[in-house]
């Protein structure tokens, strides 16, 4: 039942036609207004108290006693003041489903059939997940560092035609390539080298499904909850207490505002350079160490941070480097947040430059690990080729781990 070779057909059940009113356990009516901060696609800061979402998806915030509306295609991020919590897996929700649209759903396997897996989440029981929409399922708690690393690597490098089963025995992690045959609460089976291998609940760490050839359609929004779960879909309404999100299969889920951590938006006007393959990468080491660039991570392969800001998207590099991109369409502006990664601050001293069709349009001057995150927003009208350049500063290359946070071009 490989997602890449046998996606099956998925028929939406009766839940797809209604808005689920199941609320998270323990959630209650909000006692007062909720403070929200965010960014537009061009990097302008916005803030206010949460008011709701219109049926068309327009976000409403109240600031200075006035209600302001923000179309979703103009937004990049909204973040709630309270940081997300880290909630460990429980006996009732030992698994985590990773969808191709970016959704991450903790829950429990209830069963599978041709083309779908039935998954129980806190919000939606018996949720039908088509294999074609699944990137991976982690079956055991995330407490085995070697297995977790192998699982993340397999997710990042999904095989186009074969599923991958990761088996853990003591300190050894063994990847098996084949096809998932079944998945149940008690285990299931996996076809490996023309024979069925039982999925033992104590050793089967996770399954990474074949990528196939179709590129997944990105949702309008990814709504992250404080427990670490993420629901992808379209904002379809809401009020001061809840946000309704409509998934690609038509299912509508009501997410309590009290549980929200952030909403990340996708706009057809924006192209993140981290989603593109550079046409060229040039690196000139100060000594002998060669640093590859990293996508959505720092160059040292850590979560990307500049000061107190965390970035889900961006490009991490080391001095001295040049990334060259050919743009598929005409864009008018380039925006980003630049700085030295917080893991090495206050060390680091570099210069960030941007060239468009060979002409310099931005030069940061010296940027050190003691500096605050610096926004960049420059015109690139009609650009066909962009270069992101990070040069040596005044302190050799010590700590020169530079981040292009949220680097993007805008129509």
Q: Strands 75-80, 35-40: parallel, antiparallel or unpaired by DSSP?
A: antiparallel
User: What is the per-residue pLDDT across 98-143, written as a single tens digit (0 to 9) for each?
Assistant: 999 999 999 999 988 888 999 999 989 999 999 889 999 999 988 8
| Block mean pLDDT (10 aa), the chain, length 411 | 33 33 34 79 92 93 92 93 58 85 94 90 91 93 88 91 94 94 92 94 94 83 93 94 92 93 93 95 89 95 93 95 92 96 96 96 97 96 95 89 97 91
Q: What is the pLDDT of residue 344?
A: 96
User: What is the per-residue pLDDT across 198-250, written as a single tens digit (0 to 9) for each?
Assistant: 999 899 999 999 998 777 788 999 999 998 899 999 999 999 999 999 998 89
Nearest 5°: phi and psi at 257?
-60, -30
Q: Let me know: does 194 contact 118? Beta carbons within 8 Å.
A: no
Q: Find how far residue 109's CA is from the centre of its chain.
A: 23
Q: What is the pLDDT of residue 92?
A: 64
| Bridge partners, residue 264, by sequence | 77, 222
Place of tokens 């864009």: 331
Give 110's Cβ-side CA count (13 Å radius): 14
Q: What is the pLDDT of residue 49?
A: 93
Q: What is the pLDDT of residue 10?
A: 29
H or E stretch covering 141: none
**Distance between CA 204 and CA 190 in Å, rounded?**
10
Domains and CATH numbers, the chain: 20-81+221-265 (no CATH), 86-208 (no CATH), 270-410 (2.60.120.1060)
List the structure tokens of 151: 């699982």
Q: What is the pLDDT of residue 254?
A: 94
């Amino acid at each position: 039942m490989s997602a890449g070779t046998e996606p099956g057909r998925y028929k939406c059940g009766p839940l797809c036609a209604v808005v689920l009113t199941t609320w998270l356990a323990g959630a209650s009516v909000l006692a007062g207004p909720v403070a929200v901060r965010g960014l537009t696609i061009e990097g302008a800061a916005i803030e206010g108290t949460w008011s709701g979402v219109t049926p068309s998806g327009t976000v409403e915030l109240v600031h200075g006693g006035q209600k302001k509306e923000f179309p979703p295609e103009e937004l990049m991020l909204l973040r709630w003041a309270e940081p997300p919590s880290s909630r460990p897996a429980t006996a009732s929700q030992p698994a985590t489903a990773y969808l191709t649209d970016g959704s991450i759903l903790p829950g429990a396997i209830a069963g599978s059939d041709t083309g779908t897996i039935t998954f129980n989440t806190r919000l939606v029981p018996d949720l039908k997940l088509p294999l074609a929409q699944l990137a991976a399922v982690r079956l055991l708690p995330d407490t085995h560092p070697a297995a977790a690393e192998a699982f993340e690597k397999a997710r990042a490098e999904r095989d186009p035609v074969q599923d991958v089963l990761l088996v853990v025995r003591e300190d050894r992690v063994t990847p098996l390539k084949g096809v998932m045959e079944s998945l149940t609460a008690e285990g299931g089976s996996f076809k490996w080298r023309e024979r069925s291998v039982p999925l033992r609940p104590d050793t089967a760490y996770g399954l990474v499904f074949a990528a196939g050839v179709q590129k997944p359609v990105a949702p309008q929004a990814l709504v992250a909850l404080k427990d670490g779960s993420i629901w992808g879909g379209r904002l379809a309404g809401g009020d001061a207490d809840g946000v309704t999100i409509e998934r690609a299969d038509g299912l509508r889920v009501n997410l309590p505002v009290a549980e929200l951590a952030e909403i990340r938006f996708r706009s057809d006007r924006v192209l993140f350079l981290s989603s593109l393959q550079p046409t060229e990468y040039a690196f000139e080491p100060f000594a002998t160490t060669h640093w590859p660039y990293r996508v959505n991570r720092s160059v040292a392969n850590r979560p990307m941070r500049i000061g107190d800001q965390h970035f889900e998207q961006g490009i991490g590099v080391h001095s001295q480097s040049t990334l060259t991109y050919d743009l598929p369409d005409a864009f008018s502006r380039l925006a980003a947040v630049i700085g030295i990664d917080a893991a090495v601050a206050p060390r680091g001293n570099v210069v960030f430059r941007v060239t468009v069709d060979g002409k310099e349009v931005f030069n940061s001057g010296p940027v050190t690990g003691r500096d605050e995150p610096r926004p960049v927003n420059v015109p690139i009208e009609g650009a066909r080729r962009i270069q992101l350049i990070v040069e040596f500063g005044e302190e050799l290359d010590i700590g020169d781990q530079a981040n292009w946070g949220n680097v993007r071009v805008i129509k």
